[in-house]
Amino acid sequence: MNFIFDFGNVLVDFKPVVYLSGLFSDKSLIELLNDMIFSSPEWLMMDKGSLTRDEAIDIFCAREPGYQEEIRLTMNNTNDIVSPIEETIELLPKIKENGHRLYYLSNMPIETRAFLLENHEYIKMFDGGVFSCDVNALKPSPEIYKILLDRYNLIPGECIFFDDVERNVAAAEKEGIKGVLFTTAECVLDYI
C-alpha cells in the first residue's frame, strides 16, 4: 500500500494564529495579520509557486503601508510556523517496516519547502512526493493528484491519502484514492 501524507497539520503543525501570538500580543493585530497574510490570495499564489515570499511581502506592504514592520517580521520568520508533529513522524518507520511506501502531497510555498527538505530528516524516509509550488497546482485540483500518481506510477486503489482538509480528501477519492480525514496520528494506525 502507498501512504500519502499532507504536511500542514498532519506531518507538521501549521497554525498561523499560534505563530502570530508568539510574535505579537495585540489580538486585533494578530487577527488582522492572519487575514491579511495567511487568508490572502497571495498565500495561495505562494503555495502554487507563482509568487515568491519577497514578492508577497512587497504586495502586502503596498496594500497595508501602516503595517510594513509587522508584515516583514511575520513573513521573514514563516519557517518557524512549521514544527514536526512527533506522533505522526513516529509512525513513518512502522509504515515502512510493514512494507508500505511513503509519499507526500502538500500545498507549500517554495521557501518553506526548501526549509523542510533541508531541516527535517524524516523526509528522507519518503519514496517521493509532490509539493504544489513545484508543479503549479494546488489541492484540491484533480491535476495535482494525477501528477503524483503519474510521476510514481501509482495505482489509485493502492493508495491512502491523509489530509486534515475535507475537500482535499474528497478530491483524492474522486481520483480513486482512499481518503482519510486526519484528526490525530491514531487515525493512521488503522491502516498500517
Taking only the tens place, the pLDDT of each residue in 63-105 is 999 999 999 999 998 888 899 999 999 999 999 999 999 999 9
64 and 119 share one domain = no
Amino acid at 52: T
pLDDT value for 79: 85
Domain containing 116 equals: 2-13+82-189
pLDDT value for 80: 84
| Predicted confidence band of residue 47 (pLDDT cuts 50, 70, 90) | very high
Read off the pLDDT of residues 108-129 as tens digits, 9 standing for 90 and up.
999 999 999 999 999 999 999 9
Segment holding 134, helix H or strand E: helix 132-135
What is the chain's length?
A: 192
98 and 7 share one domain = yes
168 and 182 share one domain = yes
64 and 9 share one domain = no
Considering its fold, how many domains does the chain have in total?
A: 2
72 and 116 share one domain = no
64 and 156 share one domain = no
Q: Are 138 and 47 in contact (CB under 8 A)?
A: yes
95 and 150 share one domain = yes
CA-closest candidate to residue 161, choices 141, 187, 124:
187
Q: Are 13 and 80 in contact (CB under 8 A)?
A: no
- Give the residue with greater pLDDT, 190 vs 45: 45
Query: Is residue 61 over pLDDT 90?
Result: yes
Q: Helix/strand/coil (H, E, C) string of 62-103?
A: HHCHHHHHHHHHHHCCHHHHEEECHHHHCCHHHHHHCCCEEE
What percent of the chain clears pLDDT 90, i.e. is strictly above it? 95
Last residue of a domain, one of 36, 64, 79: 79
For the record, the C-alpha cell of 187 comes out as: 487515525
Query: Is residue 143 over pLDDT 90?
Result: yes
185 and 126 share one domain = yes
pLDDT value for 145: 98
57 and 91 share one domain = no
CATH at residue 164 = 3.40.50.1000
127 and 34 share one domain = no
119 and 39 share one domain = no
Indicate the pTM of the whole model. Answer: 0.94
